Structures are given as C-alpha cells and as structure tokens.
Chains A and B, each alone.
Chain A
C-alpha cells in the first residue's frame, strides 16, 4: 500500500499552534486556578514559538498532503501578521477578562484555534483547505464574540455574527461547488489549468462560482455591501476580541482571496479586477463617510476597519505584484496600529465603564499624557501621516493601483483618505485642545500585559513608518519570491 506524501513540514506552524491550544486546556485541567495569571503569557509563548517556526522555514517552500497545503513565503508573511495580532490581543485580554469576571481558560484555547484557521487560510492551496480554514477561523470567533455573556450586547453581537458568518459560508460552499462543476477540481492549480480552455472560461458556472466566492470572502473581510454586521458585532464583542477580529479575520480572508484569485483565476483576471474595483470604491466611500457621524469610538473603529478593508482591496484590485506586496504590508501596518488603538481603549476602560464615548476623550493629554501620545500616533497612522506605518501602506497600494492604471479607483482612494483625516484627527484635537468634561482617565492602572502590548504597538507603528525604504526593498525582494511562488509556479 502506498501512503501519500504527507510532508508535515508544510503544516509545522499550524500543528504547533493547535497542539499548544490543547496544551493550554490540559494545563488548566491539571493546575487550575493556581496558574491562571500565567496563562496569557503561556499563550504568548505559544504564538512566539509558532512565529519562530514559520520564520525558520523562510524560502523553504514546503508542500504537503498532495498539494493541499503549501508553506511559501506568502504564507509565512501572513503567519507573522496573525502572530502579531494574536500576541497583542492576548496581552490585552488577560486583565480585561479578570476585571469583568470573564476569565475562563477556554478563551485562550479558542483564540489559538482561531489563529490556526488563519494559518490554514494562508497556506491552503485547495478550496477544501480554504473552506476548512475559514470555518476554523470563524467558529471560535462566534463563541469569543459572545464570551461576555450574560451581557446582552455581547450575546446579540455573537448571534448576528454567527448568522451572517454562516450565510457567508453557504455562499462560499455554493461558489466552490459551481467552480468544481466548471473545472472538475478543487485544487487551485488544476482549476488554473482547466481555465486554459475557452469553453470553461465563458461558462456560466465559472462566472457564478467566482462571484459567489467573492461574496463569501467579502462578508469575512467586511467589504461593502457585505459589511452590515461589522459595526454591531464590533460594538458588542469584548474589546480585545474586537481588536483581534478586526485584524485577524481580515488577514485570513484577504490571504485566501489573494491566493484564489492569483493562483486559480489569473486567466479571467479581467472579470475579478473589475468586480474588486467596484467593491473597493463602495467600501472606501461607505466606510469613511459613515465613520464621520459616529459618537462611539468602537463603532468609529468598526467603520474605519471597513474603510481600511477598502484600501487593502485597492491592492488586490491592482492585480500586480506590487498590489500583493502592498496588501500584505498594509495588513502588517494595520495590525500594529489598530490593535494599538483598541489597546488604549482597553487601558482606559474599567468594569462597567468602557472608554467608548468619543466626547469623554476631551482633555486626556493633561491626565494621561503618554496614553494620549500613543493614541495620537495610532490615529496619525490610521490617517496616513508621514513617519507612520499607515502612510507607507497607503503609498504601497496606491502606487500598485497607479501601475495598473486604475485612475478612478486611485482618485477615490486618495479623496476618501483625506475625508478620514477629519474623524481621526478630531479625536487628537479633543485630547489636546479641550478641557476634560468628567473624571475620565483620572484613575488608570496600567498592567504589565497592557503596557507591553501598547509599547509593542507604538514601536511597530513608528518603525514600519521610518524605515520604509529598506523595508520596501525587503518586502519587494520577498515578494519577488512570494509572487513568483504565487503567480508563476505551476507545478
């Protein structure tokens, strides 16, 4: 009997992470409350080990399980982004949970399982793997969203997220079924080969499959018009989960979309670039315009996360190597910046009093100068001001769009980022130029976890902003290899 070639190397990071999740459950079972306060650090250790194992396989390009999974540089970059989101979110979680009597060890295990889903989405090269990865990412997230029960908002958010997430999965499944019907395979490379045939390209099944797959992932990355769930879910979920979701779910969704579009569907690029341009324009306009009128910071960041999905879509729509590199860099920059912004919210919140109202940030600079400064850095980076990571990300995706000649999209993207300055900078103005209206921010206890997370986020945001030259070279070099593996590899 011949056993297929497993090659577990290709799954190393995902295996380590899922085993670590089980380890956390076991450790809790054996030691119980005695080690409760160390659990978050144990989780962070797991994420660090996973990240290191992924980086040690740089340029190795392992392929396993008959081409089901492939660990190339693209997958490793996404893995690193997922690790950053995971580490920052876990560091922000522990004390938040303890304060609100929500501390249960399953929280960390669920989080690791969800991150494993991102890793599978990043390295899956078969639609079966991508579907499973998406579900592994989503199902723990539904539970985590409702983790603050019996808080009614959290339950409502979990329910909405679950129903719309399941709806998105069913679109995806049907889309995959149609693609299978058109091409006879779920393997991305075989789909690509089948699409050499003109009859297959013009078949209704191919087009229907492509559209439904786009809809399915559109829900996950919160692209307009599939964004309706985002503000409610972000508002209701526990803040550290919102922070993780805003980056993690996006990274996973975009990684899978990139791989599907670039590996399986390059023959019909004219179809999907057109669709992505429309999605990107709608997402940019709606996200940025609706963010202006928000009075809740969490909802503002929700609409802002929709808008940022739009900028990443600009990179995807460009359909060139620079676009892939730009989308990845943007996700990396966004991971540091957005988790940082949520981190400030968490630092200023206490039980029963979330730091959610934008008005209450007035005069924060006089009470918490360091937190106000950090928040300013994050807001500037989200706006895209020089010397921050956000600007480099934007330049990257904008230049990709220019290279592809998508001028309308480029103009919309630039104009909407000017609009976004209004609502991001309003917060900065409030913090520095107004007097405090209540005792908000007078008693803040910064725990080591939150301190570490905020420091990492600020350092990441600034470093990615001031060494862009080297980094772009580095990323370009990487992505020369990455996109080669993504686009040029056939067998």
Chain B
C-alpha cells in the first residue's frame, strides 16, 4: 500500500495534537518549549507532504524558513530560560510565575 498525502496529513495532525497536549500538561519550561518545537515540526511535515503531492517547491522553501526561525527562537528561548534559572533556581513555570490578576 502506497503512503498517500492523507496519511502524512493525519500523522502531522497527531504530532501537532501531541505538542498541544505537552504544552498544556508539562510544567518545565524546557519541555514546554520542546512541545512547541514538535508543533512546528508537525507543520513542516505537512508542508513537505503537500509540496510533494503538488510537485511544487513552495512548501519546501517554507520549511527552510521555519527551521531557520526556529533556530533563532531556540537561541533566544534557551538564553531566557538560563537567565531565569540563575535568579530563581528553577525552570518550573508555576514556580516562576509570581504576577497574578
């Protein structure tokens, strides 16, 4: 049985959902961030699958940009997490959170 674009789309939707669940349930900032990366990559997978189905490269080009931007985001994100870890000694979102209302 050939793997069709629908299979890939369903897989990417599952990855995206797993990412959302991770963001909602995990409390460690780094794991939350990893879940977000998973969601981004679900998008990338969908792009590649559609791109192949259409025989156009637009989708693949988009993936390059997403990867680049994600790399920049990782740099900033980890820097922020390290900074806050230095002053609070934890990366747990609930412990970090002091502002309310």
Residues of A within 8 A of B (CB): 127-128, 131-132, 135, 139, 142-143, 146, 149-150, 152-153, 155-160, 162-163, 166-167, 169-171, 173-174, 176-178, 180-181, 184-186, 231-232, 235-236, 294, 296, 299
Contacts and interface: CB of A to CB of B under 8 A. Distances in A.
Contacts of A178: 46
Contacts of A149: 83, 87
Contact of B98 (A132, A153, A296): A153
Contacts of B62: 127-128, 131, 176-177, 180, 186
B9 A163 contact: no
Contact of B72 (A135, A156, A163): A135
B33 A180 contact: no
Interface string B57-80: 011011001100100110011001
Interface of chain A: mostly helix, strand, loop or mixed = helix
Contact of B50 (A152, A171, A181, A236): A181
A139 B79 CA distance: 12
Given A150-B87, A163-B36, A185-B58, A299 B76 contact: no
Interface string B27-52: 00100110010011011101101110
B14 interface: no
A-B pairs with lowest CB-CB distance, top 5: A170-B39, A173-B43, A177-B46, A181-B50, A174-B43
A235 B99 contact: yes
Nearest to B50: A181
B46 A166 contact: no
Interface of B: 5, 9, 12, 16, 19, 23, 29, 32-33, 36, 39-40, 42-44, 46-47, 49-51, 54, 56, 58-59, 61-62, 65-66, 69, 72-73, 76-77, 80-81, 83-84, 86-88, 93, 96-99, 101
B69 A131 contact: yes
A146 B36 contact: no
Contacts of B32: 163
B12 to A, nearest CB: 8
Contacts of B50: 177, 180-181, 184
A186 B50 CA distance: 12
Contacts of A235: 99
Given A135-B72, A156-B98, A181 B9 contact: yes
A162 B30 CA distance: 12
B23 A167 contact: yes
B77 A162 contact: yes
Given A181-B46, A185-B56, 6 more contacts: A127-B62, A150-B86, A156-B84, A163-B29, A163-B33, A184-B56
A296 B100 CA distance: 11
Nearest to B19: A170
A450 B65 CA distance: 39
Given A155-B87, A162-B80, A294-B101, A128 B61 contact: yes
